[in-house]
């Protein structure tokens, strides 16, 4: 598939035979997948499958040992993280990294300043985003004084300020109550309506299944299955990956 | 979106600044004692150096422990050009600044990716290397004897005057320059990016902050300002002594001023200098004729107290001056 | 031709001799980092304090410096524990900037306190064996240096035995490697902290004692030892004790060779260049453990 072909067929992100080896361990083993424009792709798999490594490879945190990563047709393999962000890809961290001694607004301004270098503009944009995320009332509070839930929201608010077109959400629902999860899902749907594409890595199964257009399953660095949420959840390979061989046989016996 | 309260604070601040500026500018008319001039000039000098260091050390949190090297580069370049080729300091400052910029650029490329103690050590080693080299190449730098500019009478060209009034104005002007640069950076995108880097480099990078470029630029600007101060060093001391100007001692005094006053703020170094320099004079006075070690001892105690109890610096005691970034 | 080789071997031997002393200093520094993650920029000053303590003991009690190590070690241990429990303990767990600034403050404090009390003039200690030497073939080994090397090696061996075979020593290693597990096993990390710091300072002071027969004693002398210690520790890997010992010999030899073949006053350039190379290419150290990025 040529670069042009990739661009014209509406894929915002294309991974092709991406490989990463740490020491002797193959963390990502010739992984290939696409994300179409406006699509939400879920990425699931047991712990240690390599999901976060893939995010790190896309973002340029790690150097890939093989393959290509194309964003809007441009090969971004081994770009630095800040270059990747500037092109329009953002990620959240499993463990939030707020800029503790800056206010919530200050945190968001850093993101906003990427495309709005002037302080006044950036400040206005930051306020708008904070309002939208329900953080307007704490915009003057220092990040270190925010509640856990507000911190998670701040994480998203910051990266939205960089005007991304692709979001890589790394377990952003971990530790949330069911109500909070629903709020977050609504938010993500809103983003998708505004044209954002997303890669959602989650262990909260019902959340990722309800929001994804397509789900990819990763195990031991390899993609073992892909398709709609319903297809994937019944696939025997997937069940085996999560529950192990014995768990699988028990599951089929009880019909779960 | 400035609130009513913000506007009032801004107004008070501007008025107080103007008042202070008028007082400071008018002071030379009322003073005649050379000694007092020297103290004030020292205050301005160290405040400026602290401000310059603050750009990389305070805003970005990259502790450079070898900054005296840049001071020395500026001092030696300018001093030697003046001594051997009669180049006026006004012009002689330029080669020194360019040299400092180049050195800072390459140093930055080498060491700014290091974190915490590794960075501090690397800059320490850098400072020592410069000092060793300056002491070694005796035919160029005069070695341990340093560079002495003989006083040949009033000379605008080489900045020699019988009284301190002009020196006062020059040092004040240099301080104003450093504060101006520091404040412009503080309020710009670069300032915000530097603070983000100080807080969490990974988070900053994932918000689009180009880490290496930003840190490098801050280091280069800081180095150039420091070298410019070095260029005028021989206003304050007509003798450039490698142990004084390039030693670890000087590097520590520079960062003390910023840290004690208020690291990461624009006016912190000024406050730091206003406290430390008179303290040094006082301790020399009380303990009689500059008992070596007394003033640095007091500095050390203050540093320890500040680090343990008031790590943001003593400027936190003057909240109006502190976090004026109204975000 | 033979003299060329002899000159080289002589420089090598000199380097090894002083390397032994450097090992003592560096091991302490790396121990502090390993156990409590603190970078002690004042380490060189404790070597200096050891030197002055030895000098005073010599003046007041006419003790031979090498003998006075018996007194210097407990004195310096107490000094170390005192400083740890009053000052260092307050910054454990804080970001590295606090450690750096605090220990820098302690360094300046110690240096200038000594300057104030003892003055800036260098002192020296005359011993009966100051100019004696051992001769092996064409190679001359100055006796004081040889004694320093030997005692340093004995001390290092004793430290190793302490860390490997005693319960306290194992406790130290536990806290260094897996602090959370150490707590669960009933080891008190706070106690380990001051123990480690005390031992470390005692070693630094002992190193100071060992060099007094052949080095000048003055307040600023600590700064160079501090930098050397850091170069060694980075080379060997922060927190890595065998690395520190190995690194000490590498640096001792480098310094000696630079002194011989480049210039006396540039002898520190060799170690600094190695330092920069290590930071550039393998900042975790040759035997690595630290994280520089």
A136 against C284, higher pLDDT: A136
The reply to whether A243 falls in a domain is: no
Shortest distance between the Cα of A84 and any Cα of chain B, in A, equals 8
Query: How many CB pairs below 8 Å do chains B and C form together?
Result: 116
Give B 245-304 residues with CB within 8 A of chain C.
248, 252, 259, 291-294, 296-297, 299-301, 303-304
B252 against A4, higher pLDDT: B252
CB contact under 8 A, B307 and C102: yes
Which residue in A62, A91, A97, A129 has the most chain B C-beta atoms within 10 A of its own C-beta, making it the best mutation to test that interface?
A97
CATH class of the domain defined by C2-281: mainly alpha
- Tally the domains of chain A: 2
Regarding chains C and A, contact by 3 or more CB pairs under 8 A is answered as no
pLDDT greater than 90 at residue B191: yes
pLDDT confidence band for B274 (50 / 70 / 90): very high
Residue B6: per-residue pLDDT: 56
How far is residue C132's CA from residue C146's CA, in Å, rounded to a whole number? 10
A114 against B299, higher pLDDT: A114
* Range ranked top by mean pLDDT from A88-102, B174-188, B304-318, C162-176: B174-188
The reply to whether A34 falls in a domain is: yes
Q: Where are the domains of chain C?
A: 2-281
Shortest distance between the Cα of C39 and any Cα of chain B, in A, equals 7
Query: What average pLDDT is seen over chain C?
Result: 89
C-beta of residue A248 within 8 angstroms of C-beta of residue A236: yes
The reply to whether A119 falls in a domain is: yes
Q: Is C250 helix (H, G, I), strand (E, B) or coil?
A: helix
Give mean pLDDT, residues B13-25: 77
Phi-psi region of A220 (alpha: psi -120 to 50; beta: other; left: phi over 0): left
A158 and A186 housed in the same domain: no
Give B 172-191 residues with CB within 8 A of chain C.
none
How far is residue C194's CA from residue B180's CA, in Å, rounded to a whole number? 46
C-beta of residue B148 within 8 angstroms of C-beta of residue B249: no
pLDDT greater than 60 at residue B171: yes
pLDDT greater than 90 at residue B288: no
Containing structural domain, residue A55? 1-88+166-229
- The minimal CB distance from C265 to the residues B136, B291, B292 is found for B136
User: pLDDT by residue for chain A (256 residues), tens digit each?
Assistant: 344 444 446 889 999 999 999 888 899 999 999 999 999 999 998 888 889 999 999 999 999 998 999 999 899 998 999 999 999 999 998 888 888 889 999 999 999 999 999 999 999 999 999 999 889 899 899 998 998 888 888 999 999 999 999 999 998 888 888 898 998 899 999 999 999 999 999 888 888 889 999 999 998 888 888 888 888 877 887 777 776 655 444 544 444 4
Give mean pLDDT, residues B142-152: 77
pLDDT greater than 90 at residue C6: no
The reply to whether A77 falls in a domain is: yes
The three state secondary structure string of chain B is: CCCHHHHHHHHHHHHHHHHHHHHHHHHHHHCCCHHHHHHHHHHHHHHHHHHHHHHHHCCCCCCCCCCHHHHHHHHHHHHHHHHHHCCCHHHHHHHHHHHHHHHHHHHHHHHCCCCHHHHHHHHHHHHHHHHHHHHHCHHHHCHHHCEECCCCCCECCCCECCCCHHHHHHHHHHHHHHHHHHHHHHHCHHHHHHHHHHHCHHHHHCCCCCHHHHHHHHHHHHHHHHHHHHHCHHHHCCEECHHHHCCHHHHHHHHHHHHHHHCCCCCHHHHHHHHHHHHHHHHHHHCCCCCCCHHHHHHHHHHHHHHHHCCCCHHHHCHHHCCCCCC
Shortest distance between the Cα of C76 and any Cα of chain B, in A, equals 21
**Burial label, A203 (beta-carbon count in 10 A; 0-12, 13-18, 19+):** middle
pLDDT confidence band for B155 (50 / 70 / 90): low
pLDDT greater than 80 at residue C26: yes
Q: Where are the domains of chain B?
A: 33-247
A150 and A26 housed in the same domain: no
Tokens standing for residue C206:
């002992």
How far is residue C278's CA from residue C282's CA, in Å, rounded to a whole number? 5
pLDDT greater than 80 at residue B223: yes
ipTM confidence: 0.87
C-beta of residue B226 within 8 angstroms of C-beta of residue B215: no
A67 against B139, higher pLDDT: A67
A115 and A209 housed in the same domain: no
Tell me which residue of B116, B66, B304, B308 sits closest to C106, measured CA to CA.
B304
**Burial label, A176 (beta-carbon count in 10 A; 0-12, 13-18, 19+):** middle
C-beta of residue A90 within 8 angstroms of C-beta of residue A166: yes
pLDDT greater than 70 at residue B158: no
CB contact under 8 A, B189 and A82: no
Q: Which alpha helices (DSSP H) does chain A contain, by range?
A: 3-8, 51-59, 81-87, 104-112, 119-132, 148-160, 178-193, 205-211, 229-234, 236-254
- The minimal CB distance from B205 to the residues A81, A98, A106 is found for A81
Tell me which residue of B164, B134, B155, B162 sits closest to B32, measured CA to CA.
B164
Q: Which residues of B touch A123 (CB under 8 A)?
A: 1, 327
Instruction: Determine contact: C290 vs chain B, CB below 8 A.
Output: yes
Under an 8 Å CB criterion, which residues of B touch A?
1, 187-189, 192-193, 195-196, 199-200, 202-211, 325, 327
Tokens standing for residue A57:
């490879």
CB contact under 8 A, B118 and C290: yes
C-beta of residue A139 within 8 angstroms of C-beta of residue B327: no
pLDDT greater than 50 at residue B290: no
b/e per residue, B79-118, with b = 16+ CB within 10 A? bbbbbeeebebeebbbbbbebbbebbeebbeebbbbbbbb
CATH of the domain at A11: 3.40.50.300
A145 and A224 housed in the same domain: no
A131 and A225 housed in the same domain: no
pLDDT greater than 80 at residue B234: no
C-beta of residue B96 within 8 angstroms of C-beta of residue B230: yes
C-beta of residue B147 within 8 angstroms of C-beta of residue B240: yes
Query: What average pLDDT is seen over chain B?
Result: 84
C67 against B15, higher pLDDT: C67
- The minimal CB distance from B115 to the residues C268, C272, C293 is found for C293
- The minimal CB distance from A123 to the residues B1, B188, B195 is found for B1
Shortest distance between the Cα of B202 and any Cα of chain A, in A, equals 8
Residue C175: per-residue pLDDT: 85
CB contact under 8 A, A109 and B211: no
The reply to whether A58 falls in a domain is: yes
The model's pLDDT over B42-68, given as tens digits with 9 standing for 90+, comes to: 999 999 999 999 999 999 999 999 999
How far is residue B127's CA from residue B104's CA, in Å, rounded to a whole number? 12
How far is residue B284's CA from residue A247's CA, in Å, rounded to a whole number? 81
The reply to whether A238 falls in a domain is: no
pLDDT confidence band for C203 (50 / 70 / 90): very high
The reply to whether A237 falls in a domain is: no
A246 against C192, higher pLDDT: C192
Residue B235: per-residue pLDDT: 67
Give mean pLDDT, residues B148-155: 68
A84 and A2 housed in the same domain: yes
Residue C127: per-residue pLDDT: 82
Sheet holding A25-36, edge to edge: A25-36, A11-22, A66-71, A74-75
Tell me which residue of A171, A169, A240, A238 sits closest to A204, measured CA to CA.
A171
pLDDT confidence band for C289 (50 / 70 / 90): low
CB contact under 8 A, B207 and A159: yes
CB contact under 8 A, A81 and B189: no
The reply to whether A239 falls in a domain is: no
Tell me which residue of B158, B138, B156 sits closest to B147, measured CA to CA.
B138
Residue B326: per-residue pLDDT: 40
């Amino acid at each position: 598939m040529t670069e042009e072909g990739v661009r014209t067929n509406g894929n915002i992100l294309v991974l092709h035979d991406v490989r990463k080896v740490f020491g002797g361990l193959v963390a990502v083993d010739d992984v290939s997948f696409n994300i179409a424009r406006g699509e939400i792709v879920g990425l699931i798999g047991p712990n240690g499958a390599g999901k976060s490594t893939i995010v790190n490879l896309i973002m340029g945190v790690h150097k890939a040992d093989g393959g290509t990563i194309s964003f809007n047709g441009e090969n971004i393999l081994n770009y630095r993280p800040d270059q990747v962000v500037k092109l329009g890809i953002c990620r959240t961290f499993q463990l939030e990294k707020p800029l503790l001694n800056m206010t919530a607004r200050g945190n968001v301004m850093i993101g906003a300043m990427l495309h709005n270098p002037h302080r006044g503009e950036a400040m206005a944009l930051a306020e708008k985003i904070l309002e939208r995320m329900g953080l307007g009332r704490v915009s003057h509070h220092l990040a270190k004084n925010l509640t856990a839930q507000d911190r998670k929201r701040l994480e998203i608010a910051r990266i939205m300020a960089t005007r991304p077109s692709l979001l890589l959400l790394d377990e952003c629902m971990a530790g949330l109550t069911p109500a909070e999860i629903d709020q977050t899902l609504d938010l993500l749907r809103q983003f998708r309506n505004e044209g954002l594409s997303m890669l959602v890595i989650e262990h909260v199964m019902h959340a990722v299944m309800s929001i994804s257009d397509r789900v990819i399953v990763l195990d031991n660095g390899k993609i073992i299955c892909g398709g709609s949420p319903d297809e994937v959840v019944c696939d025997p390979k997937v069940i085996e990956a999560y529950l192990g061989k014995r768990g699988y046989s028990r599951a089929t016996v009880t019909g779960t | 979106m400035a609130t009513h309260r913000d506007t009032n604070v801004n107004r008070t601040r501007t008025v107080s600044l103007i008042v202070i500026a008028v007082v400071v500018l008018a002071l030379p008319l009322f003073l005649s004692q050379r000694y007092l001039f020297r103290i004030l000039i020292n205050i301005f000098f160290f405040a400026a150096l602290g401000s310059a260091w603050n750009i990389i050390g305070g805003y970005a949190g990259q502790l450079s422990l070898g900054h005296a090297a840049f001071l020395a580069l500026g001092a030696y370049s300018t001093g030697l050009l003046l001594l051997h080729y009669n180049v006026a300091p006004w012009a002689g400052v330029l080669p020194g600044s360019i040299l400092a910029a180049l050195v800072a650029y390459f140093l930055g490329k080498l060491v700014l990716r290091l974190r915490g103690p590794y960075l501090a050590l690397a800059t320490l080693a850098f400072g020592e290397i410069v000092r060793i080299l300056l002491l070694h190449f005796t035919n160029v730098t005069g070695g341990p004897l340093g560079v002495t500019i003989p006083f040949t009478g009033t000379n605008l060209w080489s900045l020699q005057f019988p009284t301190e009034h002009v020196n006062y104005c020059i040092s004040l002007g240099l301080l104003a320059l450093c504060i101006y640069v520091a404040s412009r950076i503080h309020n710009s995108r670069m300032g915000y990016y530097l603070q983000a880097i100080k807080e969490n480099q990974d988070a900053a990078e994932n918000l689009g902050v180009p880490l290496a470029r930003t840190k490098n630029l801050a280091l280069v600007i800081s180095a150039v300002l420091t070298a410019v101060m070095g260029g005028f060093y021989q206003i304050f001391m007509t003798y450039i002594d490698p142990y004084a100007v390039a030693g670890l001692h000087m590097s520590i005094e520079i960062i003390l001023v910023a840290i004690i006053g208020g690291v990461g703020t624009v006016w912190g170094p000024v406050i730091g200098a206003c406290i430390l320099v008179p303290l040094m004079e006082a301790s020399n006075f009380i303990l009689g004729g500059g008992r070596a070690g007394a003033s640095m001892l007091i500095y050390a105690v203050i540093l320890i107290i500040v680090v343990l109890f008031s790590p943001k610096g003593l400027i936190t005691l003057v909240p109006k001056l502190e976090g004026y970034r109204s975000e | 031709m033979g003299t060329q080789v002899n000159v080289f071997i002589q420089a090598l031997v000199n380097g090894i001799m002083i390397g032994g002393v450097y090992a003592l200093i560096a091991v302490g520094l790396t121990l502090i980092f390993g156990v409590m993650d603190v970078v002690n920029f004042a380490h060189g000053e404790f070597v200096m304090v050891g030197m002055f303590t030895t000098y005073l003991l010599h003046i007041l009690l006419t003790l031979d410096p090498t003998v006075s190590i018996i007194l210097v070690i407990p004195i310096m241990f107490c000094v170390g524990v005192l400083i740890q429990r009053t000052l260092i303990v307050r910054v454990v767990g804080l970001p590295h900037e606090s450690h750096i600034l605090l220990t820098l403050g302690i360094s300046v404090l110690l240096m200038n306190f000594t300057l104030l009390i003892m003055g800036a003039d260098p002192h020296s200690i005359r011993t009966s064996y100051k100019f004696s030497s051992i001769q092996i073939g064409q190679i001359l080994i100055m006796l004081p240096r040889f004694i320093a090397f030997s005692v340093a090696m004995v001390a290092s061996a004793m430290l190793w035995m302490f860390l490997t075979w005693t319960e306290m020593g194992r406790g130290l290693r536990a806290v260094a490697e897996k602090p959370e597990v150490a707590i669960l096993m009933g080891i008190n990390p706070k106690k380990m902290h001051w123990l480690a710091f005390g031992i470390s300072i005692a070693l630094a002071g002992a190193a100071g004692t060992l060099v007094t027969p052949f080095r000048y004693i003055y307040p600023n002398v600590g700064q160079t030892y501090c930098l050397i210690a850091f170069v060694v520790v980075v080379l060997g890997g922060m927190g890595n004790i065998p690395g520190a010992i190995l690194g000490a010999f590498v640096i001792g030899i480098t310094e000696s060779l630079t002194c011989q073949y480049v210039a006396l006053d540039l002898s520190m350039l060799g170690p600094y260049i190695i330092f920069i190379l290590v930071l550039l290419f393998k900042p975790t150290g040759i035997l690595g453990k630290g994280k520089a990025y």
